[in-house]
Structure 1
Amino acid sequence: MHRPVMPPPGHSPQRWKESWGRLIACLTIWICVSVSLRYGYFGDSRMVLGPSSSRLMKASSVFVDHVEVRDEDKKGVLLYGFYEKPELSFETNWSVADYMIVASYSRKGFSLWLNKGSKIRMRWEARTSILNQLQVVMIKGERKYETLLPKQTSSPDALNLSEPLNGKEAEYTIEEDNRYYLGLINTNPKNIITTLSVNVTSKMYELSKARNMCSTTQGSCRLKLLFPKTQYVVVTTPDNGDINGWNIEVAFVARAIIYVAILGAIVIIIFLILKYLGACDTDQSTNLVETATWQASEPSETEPIMPAKSVRLTYGTNEEDDEGSSCSSSEDLYDAKLCVICYDDQRNCFFVPCGHCATCYDCAQRIMEEDNKMCPICRRLIHKVRRLFTS
């Protein structure tokens, strides 16, 4: 009778698959965490500021080594570093007036970063016949946008928004630090030429207690963060009246050794968890092997693996009967060790979770390839097939 060659226990394909699965899981988590740390909260960002603007940012020096500001236009953006949060106590005022051409059915304006407590006042002038076809709009937010309504100015020489005169005014009070877009909407089918005047009272942070600073007059600057204190960084712009093109790039350069340590710890913890789960799976398989071996030696009434040996009662002595009984018992015992499907190879495997040992490994694999995957003894669903190694 042909006996299939069993592979060594240490080189089973299942072990190789489990090892590769653990390695791929660790690599996947490593990549995901690396990308989230690189492009997540402490990542590069593009900001729109404006003249006399002051923006506060908070950076943990545990994860950030230094902050870098890039200003391609070299307008003189300044970067200040603080140990403690500075006060929003300084106030400055600036104005700008210019001609503006608003195309038909379009919008034109500019963006500013304003802190809480700032005020902005706009006045636009055009011919009386087309003045009512110009509408002012103010939008708050960098990611989630919200349209704000103007507050009617209380100055005695101000013009009412509803009067069809040569000029109109609108005033806004800033209630939250954020980016604000101010613009005019043209509802006329023709282009409109208007004169726009903007007056801004801007609240700025007090810079006298800054630990260090750098300027972007050369195009970019770096501000080193002292480990392990949490740092506050303030980006400010000069008062030059330019309301167009205040775009800068801020990069939080990571402290690589901290990221590597955290990622390494995460991967080690995940590897230990996977190893523990694999060990539990191996222990469970060992227990099933022992259970199947015990059932093969002492079958129970509910889950019989081998039929019980029948005892024949006779009266008197008869040599022929004894010989026939011995032969019958030997044949029954031999048949009980054969596969119940092919009756060719011996039973050398068992099913998980029922634990029945009824087939050879080849027939068990054919059962696993089927759709139902049912045990031929108890008709339970088979999850795995385990080999039995006997000496």
Structure 2
Amino acid sequence: MSRPMWAHTTPAGPQRWQETWARLLTPLTLWICVSVSLRYGYYGDNRMEIGPSSSRLMKASSVFVQQVEVRDVDKKVVSLYSFSEEPKLSHQANWSVSNYLIIGAYSRKGFSFWLNNGSRISMRLEAHPTHLNQLQVVMLKGERKFEILQPEQTSYTSAFNESKIGKEAEYNIEEDDRYYLEIINANRRSIIITVNVNVSSKMHDLAKAKAMCSTAKSSSCQLRLVFPNTHYVILTTPNNGELGDWYIELSFVARVITYIAILGFIVVFIFLILKYLGACDAESSNVVERPREEINETYPILPRKTVPQTYGTNEEEDDSGASSSSSEELYDEKLCVICYDEQRNCFFVPCGHCATCYDCAQRIMDGESKVCPICRRLIHKVRRLFNP
């Protein structure tokens, strides 16, 4: 009688690739979330509105940021300075602006400033007495969530030699932030007002800057950060005597090699965790299933009728009763389904089938397919069984 041949020979390549991609799915998802959060959240591109004589401090890690780039859309000269330590607010810049404004009916106009802690701003608005009552002035604080800033001092005065009434207000700045001066016209027609702004602005000390770039010659400049230090970047603007809109675009160019390293670390870490948990599960399942193996070691082998067998000659095929009885005897004797000579003394991990002897199991592991002869599942390990 010839030995049995297994008809089902599905290759293990697609199954192996599926298991590999399943393991990589979690670290890839984590890496994408971390990269998107850093690139478009904390270190995302920012289009900001600033004013004259600004000194804005930003902190950037050179591990994630390769360089800082600023684009001056209005070409009013912006400078970037890099420091290894946080500079102090030790300088003070005083500047003033006076402009005539025409505000349409039921409309508003505003101006943006970036002011640091310790700065002071005072302003005076002059308009016709009949218009001033319908004129509202609001000082807003914040870039995303606006907060109304209350003035420290307010007063009404009369202008000299003119039929105008002036409204004055003074604010003391206690926090580094963006401040927005908004003038609202609630009249039915347009009005003309005079705006006088005096600012005493706190500025950072730029004497110890490690690197510097400016948009004086072009509309953009790049400031490269030295790896792996943490840098303090100062964005400064000159006093150009204007209160109009002034926009710049600030970008943090990412260091790609850092994100690749993060991906590699996450993949290795998740792989080690899965491997450790798989080994623990295999050992625990062996301890739990041993009492059942003592009762019936063929569990969880598939029923005998699902195992296809072929025989060498027609005479043996005619003697179906004898063949069936002999195969049942071999099955009951718990012989190896590969060699039919040795006893079954091992099982496969993770499927748990006990169908071969240890030598045949090692030959399967040394082969290319490495699949269980019963369920065709990929084999990770072979565990030997020891009979008492």
Same fold (TM over 0.5): yes
RCO greater where, 1 or 2, for CA within 8 Å and sep 6 or more? 2
Note if contact 2:98-2:197 (Cα within 8 Å) is conserved in structure 1. yes
Matches of 1:42 and 1:31, distance apart in 2: 15
Q: What are the residue-to-residue correspondences of 1:52-201 with 2, within 5 Å? A: 52-152=53-153, 159=157, 166-201=165-200
Aligned partner of 2:240 in structure 1 is 240
Matches of 2:61 and 2:32, distance apart in 1: 22
Note if contact 2:154-2:167 (Cα within 8 Å) is conserved in structure 1. no
Q: Give the letter aligned to residue 173 of structure 1.
A: N
Which structure 1 residue ranges, 5 or more long, are not aligned? 299-332, 338-354, 356-385
Q: What are the residue-to-residue correspondences of 1:248-287 with 2, within 5 Å? A: 248-287=248-287
4+ aligned runs moved over 6 Å, structure 1:
3-6, 12-16, 386-389
Q: What are the residue-to-residue correspondences of 1:339-378 with 2, within 5 Å? A: none
DSSP-derived class of the 1:238 partner:
coil
Aligned partner of 1:46 in structure 2 is 47
TM superposition shift of 1:199 = 1.2
Matches of 1:245 and 1:104, distance apart in 2: 21
Aligned partner of 2:215 in structure 1 is 216
Matches of 1:214 and 1:388, distance apart in 2: 65
Q: What are the residue-to-residue correspondences of 1:6-21 with 2, within 5 Å? A: 11=12, 18-21=19-22
Matches of 1:278 and 1:234, distance apart in 2: 52
Q: Give the letter aligned to residue 224 of structure 2.
A: K
Q: What are the residue-to-residue correspondences of 1:378-389 with 2, within 5 Å? A: none
Q: CA 1:388–1:232 in structure 2 vs 1: closer, same or farther (change >3 Å)?
A: closer
Q: CA 1:189–1:81 in structure 2 vs 1: closer, same or farther (change >3 Å)?
A: same
Aligned partner of 2:227 in structure 1 is 227
1:324-365 Cα offsets, whole Å, 9 max, x none, are: xxxxxxxxx99xx9xxxxxxxxxxxxxxxxx9xxxxxxxxxx
DSSP-derived class of the 1:159 partner:
strand
1:52-106 Cα offsets, whole Å, 9 max, x none, are: 1110111122322221111122211011111221110111111111121223333
Q: CA 1:227–1:51 in structure 2 vs 1: closer, same or farther (change >3 Å)?
A: same
Q: CA 1:16–1:56 in structure 2 vs 1: closer, same or farther (change >3 Å)?
A: closer
Q: What are the residue-to-residue correspondences of 1:20-31 with 2, within 5 Å? A: 20-31=21-32
TM superposition shift of 1:11 = 4.0
Note if contact 1:106-1:185 (Cα within 8 Å) is conserved in structure 2. yes
Note if contact 1:113-1:177 (Cα within 8 Å) is conserved in structure 2. yes
Which structure 2 residue ranges, 5 or more long, are not aligned? 299-327, 333-351, 353-373, 378-388
Aligned partner of 1:33 in structure 2 is 34
Matches of 2:26 and 2:81, distance apart in 1: 42
Q: Give the letter aligned to residue 185 of structure 2.
A: N
TM-score by length of 1: 0.68
Note if contact 1:29-1:267 (Cα within 8 Å) is conserved in structure 2. no
TM superposition shift of 1:29 = 2.3
Matches of 2:63 and 2:229, distance apart in 1: 7
DSSP-derived class of the 1:240 partner:
coil
Q: CA 1:280–1:388 in structure 2 vs 1: closer, same or farther (change >3 Å)?
A: farther
Note if contact 2:31-2:262 (Cα within 8 Å) is conserved in structure 1. no
Matches of 1:185 and 1:254, distance apart in 2: 42
Q: CA 1:5–1:44 in structure 2 vs 1: closer, same or farther (change >3 Å)?
A: same
1:231-278 Cα offsets, whole Å, 9 max, x none, are: 111111011112222211111222222232222111210122223333
Q: Give the letter aligned to residue 216 of structure 1.
A: T
1:209-236 Cα offsets, whole Å, 9 max, x none, are: 2122111121111112222322111111
Compare 20-29 and 238-247 and name the one that shifted more: 20-29
Note if contact 1:118-1:201 (Cα within 8 Å) is conserved in structure 2. yes
Q: CA 1:79–1:17 in structure 2 vs 1: closer, same or farther (change >3 Å)?
A: closer
Matches of 1:64 and 1:284, distance apart in 2: 47
Matches of 1:114 and 1:40, distance apart in 2: 24
Q: CA 1:388–1:63 in structure 2 vs 1: closer, same or farther (change >3 Å)?
A: closer
DSSP-derived class of the 2:157 partner:
coil
Report % sequence identity: 59
